[in-house]
Amino acid sequence: MGSLIEIIKEEEFLPIAQKASRKMIMLSSCLLEDGKNLNKKMYGVLIKESTDLEDFLDDHGARNNKTWVFFGELVASIRNFSNVAYILSHVLRRLTLYRLNNPHEQEFAQDAQTVLQFFNESLIALFAHLRKEAELLTLEIPPCTPDETEREDLVTKVLPFTIDEEPVCEINENVTRVASEFISIFKNAAHLMFEKKVSEKQIDKLIPAKINEDVLRNTESKIHSLQSMYDTYIHKTPVESKDDSLKSLRGYISVTLHLVEIAQVLCHFVERHETKVRTETTMKRIEKIVSRKAVLDIIINFALYYYTLFIKEGTMLAETIVQRYTVIDSIVLKVPEGLGFHLRPSTLVAKVVNNYGTKTTLVINNKEFDAGSVIDLMWAAGVIKKEGLTHVEFRGDKKTLHDLKILADVNYGEDTMGKSVPLPEEIEYLR
């Protein structure tokens, strides 16, 4: 049996809303009295309180009620901007710990401070309107009563590292796996890269047509999974403690993740709270408080611009790490039956190799051909045909060789007549 919904009068809703919104309105008193209260701890409080209140309002249909819709949009906007401010303050506090050694680091820090100031001012403006709206709704305005949750934690206490070190071979595989995945994310997210600042006119064509919440969430999910993988298999291991480049890679993973998170949250704000999804009147009222153009500019010319700079530098670092930690192995695989290494199988082999970013070669009589190059593979095809070979040796990283074996087992994606055949799920990235 489904849940029951009862329509209540606005007068009946008021005391319920008073209780649910009390702390949020109290926070408006604190911030309007002293905007300096805005810090990472306060952003966390704002995220929690605005999320709880937004859920309450949604549960009670406030978004569909003319009296309460603007109040609800203010709360949602505060949640979004508090989230972005929290991420930015976190990145700025940890920037030196990321060990990026990046030429753009100082410029980024300055721009990040400017953007953070924009969101601080936007939050103050939103809270001023929230307070006015609360008064219009006849909600009580409680005085500011700061509590312990708003104080900064000065020291983080951690337990000593006591876990035994993993075997070197396993650590090497984990390192190359993480670094290779970072390279793969870089290669598959070209649509998010902006090496130069973009004009306002161009931005309007990009958002939300090409850059939107769904696209950004997809990349965010991949980087977040990569961060979890690093923390599970590499972070705080003796190998990491001896290799600063691994700490730097972790830093690049973190900063790119946070920049995509910022872009995703702001795209959500633009798409859900400033477009025709909401009422036109509400949209215009929010626009008067927070400049839509400024938010769009931050998405492209701050978040994704610096994402591009950092992921490019991080990829260069990841490539050197892959080469240093790769454990070279070899495998003998059959030559494609029928037409040999012509364009299709050569292209698929090269895609496998380039997906992992490790050096892999096809070896014939001690002569090496670059397995990541379609042209080299087709040159090798001529030698294979001339010598009548049915099997060849590949040398490279175990993960690459594993996927090449899967590809070879399905005759490199084609039948003996050269027609395409389905590829196994394990190598679905080739589709």
Give the 3-state secondary structure of residue 210. coil
Residues 192/195/198/202 CA torsion (nearest 10 deg)? -50
- pLDDT of 1 reads 47
Nearest residue to 290 via CA among 50, 125, 113: 125
214: CB partners within 8 A, 6+ apart: none
- SS in 3 state form for 114-154? HHHHHHHHHHHHHHHHHHHHHHHCCCCCCCCCCCHHHCCCC
- pLDDT of 153 reads 47
- pLDDT of 161 reads 54
- pLDDT of 148 reads 38
Q: What is the CATH T-level fold of the domain 328-430, as seen in this structure?
A: Histidine-containing Protein; Chain: A; (3.30.1340)
- pLDDT of 160 reads 62
Cα separations (Å) of 329 from 169, 300, 308, 323, 381?
12, 43, 34, 13, 22
- pLDDT of 159 reads 62
Residues in the chain with pLDDT values less than 50: 1, 148-149, 151-155
Q: pTM for this structure?
A: 0.83
Domain boundaries, the chain: 8-142, 168-325, 328-430
- pLDDT of 299 reads 98
- pLDDT of 151 reads 45
